[in-house]
Structure 1
Amino acid sequence: MGTEQAAAVEISEPLLLHEEAAVDKIRADDQEIERIPEWKDQITIRGLVVSAILGTLFCIITHKLNLTVGIIPSLNVAAGLLGFFFVKSWTGFLSKLGISVQPFTRQENTVIQTCVVACYGLAFSGGFGSYLLSMDEKTYKLIGEDYPGNRAEDVKNPGLLWMMGFIFVVSFLGLFSLVPLRKVMVLEYKLTYPSGTATAMLINSFHTNTGAELARKQVSCLGKYLSISFCWSCFKWFFSGIGDSCGFDNFPPWVDAVQEYRAGDWYPADLGSNDFKGLYGYKVFVAISLILGDGLYNLIKIISVTIKEICTKRQNLPVVKEVTDENSSKLLAEQKKRDEVFLKDRIPFWFAASGYVGLAAISTAAMPMIFPPLKWYLVLCSYILAPALAFCNSYGTGLTDWSLASTYGKIGLFIIASLVGSNGGVLAGLAACGVMMSIVSTAADLMQDFKTGYLTLSSAKSMFVSQLVGTAMGCVIAPLTFWFGGASILDHLIVHTKHHML
């Protein structure tokens, strides 16, 4: 029978001296291999220039997809890849000329990717393919002047200046709404954010001994398939028909069976497939209920657990001795290093709260000037509810890699439109949809980039600042690229739609 030692163990003393020594040794080796720059050094002029170029390119791509397909894929990986390729090519060219250049680190690469994502994200959440176009005169005439609720007073044609002003006053609030929860989302919940994780793994692989060759092969592969896609699009152009039907309008078949069986009972039988008074309304609101219910449950769970831990502080922690091998010790050291870097440059809660309140006050005063039917108290109520919806969207994005900003935008649209009524409710509802979409979309993008920064040992403060810079770029680049390029695409689509209706 073994004997029990009665030696007292202080909780402040290291439990495993050998493990601590191994962790310190690994940490010292990592510091010798790579010095992590300060957060200010991670943001460079060349990185911002490359971000502006790639942001312009991706905004054009997003407008094209938004106006034709309606589904925007994640371009995070492409932003990280092209950012590495451009900066590495530039530094290599200067090195051959004998000019000394600053080393290109994975942190700078991550900042470029974050800035690009923030920039082109506004091409989607800015409503250039959705709620802003729903306000113009072309849409009013396309729906029909005799359509119930379609009033000429609710028409607001696109204008470059007012669109820029609108995006400026609504796009920055989402960045401040969930900053205090970054530790919960990334470290405690350990949400995957698949696109952010994949981008981080790609960036980490680039900044190795064989990373440059790998990036060169990937850019070559990207260019090859881009050329194939372009040639295929040109080929299809010669055989494109009139209209937007793709052959899958009646897929899956059981949906038609339900529609035919309940048509005239649950909803009028003579409605279109996209009419909210028909079956489409059931699809949308059931999806909204499921998504919103799951997100609000986790938000309430976080609040209740936090309050419980504050009220019942643990006094005596159990002393547990864990036996780990060399590999697990190395993984433990890497995780500790990531946690330290992620939590090192803190973003104070008071800064995030004051920033959100200040921007909300500015937006509350400015929005009624742009959209008179949207009263200031409705804007204020939207900003009170928006952080909860932003959390739900960020949580769902972390699990599924799918931002449902447009779905949450519909919540604001229906609520505000019903409150305003027939006298300007359409315009007010569409503007409220833009407010919700901008906040929940930018909040999800920020959390995803926090995940990328966590895995690439980038400072959370540099991630936040690069998001601010990228959002400022997007407020200018997204409207400009739409104004000079997206309008022609839209006119082409309207002509095809009119032919299809005739």
Structure 2
Amino acid sequence: MTSLGDIHDIASTERAFESEPLPTLTETVTLRSVAVSLVLGTIVSVVVMKLKLTSSFVFLPSLSIPAGLLGFFLVRVWIHVSDIFGVAHLPFTRQENTIIQTCVVACSSIAYNGGFGTYVLGMSNQTNVEPDIGRLMAFLFLINFAGLFMVVPLRKVMIIRHRLTYPSGTAAGHLINSLHTPHDAVQVRKQVLALFKSLGATTLWPIFQWFFAGGKDCGFQVFPTFGITAYRRGFYFDSSMTNVGIGMICAPMISVSMLIGSILSWGILWPCIQTKEGQWYPKNLEPKSLSGITGYKVFIGVSIILADSLFNFIKALVRILYISRKQRSGVKTTATLAAPPPFRCLNTMDQTIQSFDDRQRAHVFLKDMISDMVAIAAYIILATTSTITIPHLYPQLKNGHIALAYMVTPVFAFCNVYGIGVTNKNMSTAYGKVAILVVSSWVRFNGGSELVACGIAIAAVSSASELMQEFKMGYLTLTSSRAMLLAQAIGTAFGCIVNPVIFWMLYKVYDMGVLDFADTPYAKVYRGIVMLSAGRHELPRHSVLLCTVFFLLALALSVAREVGERRQWRVLPYIPSTVAIGVAFFAPPKMPIGMAVGSLALYLWKRYDGSSARALSVAVASGLICGDGLGSVVPSMLNFSKAQAPVCIKFLPTPVNSEVDAYLATHPMST
């Protein structure tokens, strides 16, 4: 009779790698892997920073999969060139590929959770807290490394004892195992080729557009797709391939929800409120004044997002507590049994029966033990250093506020690490909002430095959760835990240097020192939360009433979605996303329109060739996003050097165009 262990051994992954010796630490963390990681980390950081500063899109897609593919490809090219010139080199192992993936994700994630599109811009020079590159580097070093050591003592409990899936880490681990398995090489080459084709074409598009943007409101980015009237309200396609790529990756309902939110707000609500200028709010205010129309946009959008965040925050905590209690009592819960293949066996099989893969992975994972006492001591040292140092960087905060943040953050980190292992949903921003609400009630509103507490919570919780995901990936690829922690530290250190430099360059190029809320909507969210919690009363008339109404409506929509999931309503796929609607209330309509174009393109592709679309759509979308980010570097550098585009293409209404023609007839252009 065949036992369960024998069945697992038949489909064993580690049997295929059994003949390969495990590499040492120096053979895993190599100069080659670090060099490739730093190059890819910089490229991906540019892409993520561009997304944060020009979209601040809440559903930012993960670039870890393209980072893994590109890392595999670049090292293969490195090896091929070395062979041509007769240079000796180490074999490329899956462990080294894992290190590259870890470094790249650690570096680029700081562009996402470093607050560059959120609380850093919330502390703008309008409030005398001008972003400074040196201060940003010091701050990021202090808050990001604390999260790494915070989670180290939990790795055995979460991965070995509770056997949590960590779907992102598991998917990355299976991808790397597949990359180094010969039978998947053909499919991988197709994905890499599709990614590079879309990346190459998209990289040239922003450069081409720059030549026709030689003045204000010039270029293809301001093409009035739906007419002049719709264009004036923000409804047009700006030819941004970033938004198109996001639309291809996200669920179609996300794009639809964004469109619904844009129509409700930018198409109906804001034009109605603008007719009340002089009654509900004063005339002739600054364009970005929160006492005018911008105040309605910010606070209504904040109320919708807070309602959804509060609901999901409470739901996640209840689910974590419920699952934890059931697992301690030895009862299998619905949440653990509902894990999708191929990860179901990690939760459902009896812990006394382990396959060959499980035994091998647990042995390697536990062999290079990292002392829990060393990790705890390192966290205490970093927290103490931050408590002393951060008030010198941001004088509005006191040592007690920082100390309290570091005392509470480990609790947040444990909840988030456990929750993301079960649901794969990162709630770090929700914890950051909680930190804002708590600290803002103590600290007088002064320059938005209360957002520093938000930064501590988000950075520490995010880095802790990401490291646990990487530990899971290392567990599946037989990579040493010490090597994983070292790779995460290298990537984090490099990210704390390169991301402030990228931010500073874009900050100066795009003149974001004035806090351009039109392109960085999430900066408004965090600053609006601070103002609300600090008791500011300079709000436009009826804004509190409107916030309350939309908060309740958003809460009802979130509850409806949850009930629909529990009862499996047929209309569930058609219930809009609450947070997507909230973002659309202050994000320009061009963003959801671009996403809708991406969703439509994917739909037509699936209708034409479904198998090709399913296999290559993520690679193509990633190429669009990466190419748009890379292509924007050249125009940015040209603008930074004061270069002027040679041509201005402008779209005008017919009456205005007639006036322009009449003027040009009497004032001929010189050649």
Deviation digits for residues 424-464 of structure 1, max 9, x if unmatched? 2x433111111111111111211111121122121222111
Aligned match of 2:460: 439
Contact 1:275/1:281, CA 8 A, preserved across alignment? no
1:339 aligned to 2:365? no
Compared CA separation, residues 291 and 176, structure 1 to 2 (3 A): farther
Contact 1:74/1:195, CA 8 A, preserved across alignment? no
1:356 corresponds, among 379, 383, 399, to 379
Contact 1:162/1:370, CA 8 A, preserved across alignment? yes
Aligned match of 1:43: 29
1:125 corresponds, among 98, 113, 135, to 113
CA drift at 1:76: 0.8
Compared CA separation, residues 496 and 297, structure 1 to 2 (3 A): closer
Q: Distance in 2 between matches of 1:27 and 1:99?
A: 32
Letter in 1 for 2:138: G
Letter in 2 for 1:251: G
Contact 1:299/1:388, CA 8 A, preserved across alignment? no
- Percent sequence identity is 35
Aligned match of 1:409: 432
Unmatched 5+ residue regions in structure 2? 211-218, 223-230, 237-257, 274-278, 282-291, 331-351, 520-587, 589-671
Structure 2 residue matching 1:73: 3-state secondary structure: coil
Aligned match of 2:415: 392
Contact 1:371/1:427, CA 8 A, preserved across alignment? no
Aligned match of 2:313: 292
Q: CA RMSD in A?
A: 3.9
Q: Distance in 1 between matches of 2:394 and 2:432?
A: 17
1:94 corresponds, among 53, 67, 82, to 82
Aligned match of 1:240: 221
2:93 corresponds, among 102, 105, 126, to 105
Q: Distance in 1 between matches of 2:518 and 2:66?
A: 33
Q: Distance in 2 between matches of 1:412 and 1:243?
A: 38
Q: Distance in 2 between matches of 1:275 and 1:187?
A: 49
1:183 aligned to 2:206? no
Structure 2 residue matching 1:427: 3-state secondary structure: coil
Structure 1 residue matching 2:449: 3-state secondary structure: helix
Compared CA separation, residues 88 and 276, structure 1 to 2 (3 A): same
Aligned match of 2:48: 62
1:158 corresponds, among 105, 110, 131, to 131
CA drift at 1:155: 1.7
Letter in 1 for 2:366: L
Contact 1:192/1:398, CA 8 A, preserved across alignment? yes
Contact 2:313/2:430, CA 8 A, preserved across alignment? no
Letter in 2 for 1:415: V
Letter in 2 for 1:183: K
Q: Distance in 1 between matches of 2:389 and 2:416?
A: 26
Structure 2 counterparts to residues 273-288 of structure 1, below 5 A: 278-288=299-309
Q: Distance in 1 between matches of 2:511 and 2:421?
A: 33
Structure 2 residue matching 1:157: 3-state secondary structure: coil
Structure 2 counterparts to residues 189-338 of structure 1, below 5 A: 189-210=162-183, 212-230=185-203, 238-241=219-222, 245-246=234-235, 248=258, 250-251=260-261, 278-297=299-318, 332-338=355-361
Give the structure-1-normalised TM-score: 0.76
Contact 2:5/2:353, CA 8 A, preserved across alignment? no
Aligned match of 2:64: 76
Aligned match of 2:508: 487
Structure 1 residue matching 2:355: 3-state secondary structure: helix
Compared CA separation, residues 59 and 392, structure 1 to 2 (3 A): same
Unmatched 5+ residue regions in structure 1? 1-15, 141-153, 310-328
Deviation digits for residues 83-132 of structure 1, max 9, x if unmatched? 11111111121123222211110000001100111111111221111111
Q: Distance in 2 between matches of 1:381 and 1:84?
A: 43
Letter in 2 for 1:118: A
Deviation digits for residues 387-426 of structure 1, max 9, x if unmatched? 122233334433454434333222112211111124x2x4
CA drift at 1:339: 1.9
Aligned match of 1:373: 396
Contact 2:123/2:449, CA 8 A, preserved across alignment? no
Letter in 2 for 1:57: I
Letter in 2 for 1:192: T
Q: Distance in 2 between matches of 1:330 and 1:302?
A: 22
Deviation digits for residues 367-393 of structure 1, max 9, x if unmatched? 100011110011010011111222333
Contact 2:136/2:500, CA 8 A, preserved across alignment? yes
CA drift at 1:38: 2.9
Compared CA separation, residues 246 and 389, structure 1 to 2 (3 A): farther
Letter in 1 for 2:451: L
Give the structure-2-normalised TM-score: 0.58
Compared CA separation, residues 453 and 83, structure 1 to 2 (3 A): same
Q: Distance in 1 between matches of 2:390 and 2:16?
A: 51
Structure 2 residue matching 1:240: 3-state secondary structure: helix
Q: Distance in 2 between matches of 1:91 and 1:177?
A: 37
Q: Distance in 2 between matches of 1:462 and 1:111?
A: 7
Count of residues in Structure 1 that have an aligned counterpart in Structure 2? 441
Compared CA separation, residues 493 and 408, structure 1 to 2 (3 A): same
Q: Distance in 1 between matches of 2:377 and 2:469?
A: 23
Compared CA separation, residues 421 and 88, structure 1 to 2 (3 A): same
CA drift at 1:174: 0.9
Compared CA separation, residues 197 and 466, structure 1 to 2 (3 A): same
Deviation digits for residues 240-260 of structure 1, max 9, x if unmatched? 23789457565387899xx99
Structure 1 residue matching 2:28: 3-state secondary structure: coil
Aligned match of 2:621: none
CA drift at 1:57: 0.7
CA drift at 1:477: 0.9
Structure 1 window deviating more from structure 2 (388-397 vs 160-169): it is: 388-397
Compared CA separation, residues 289 and 457, structure 1 to 2 (3 A): same
Structure 2 residue matching 1:41: 3-state secondary structure: helix
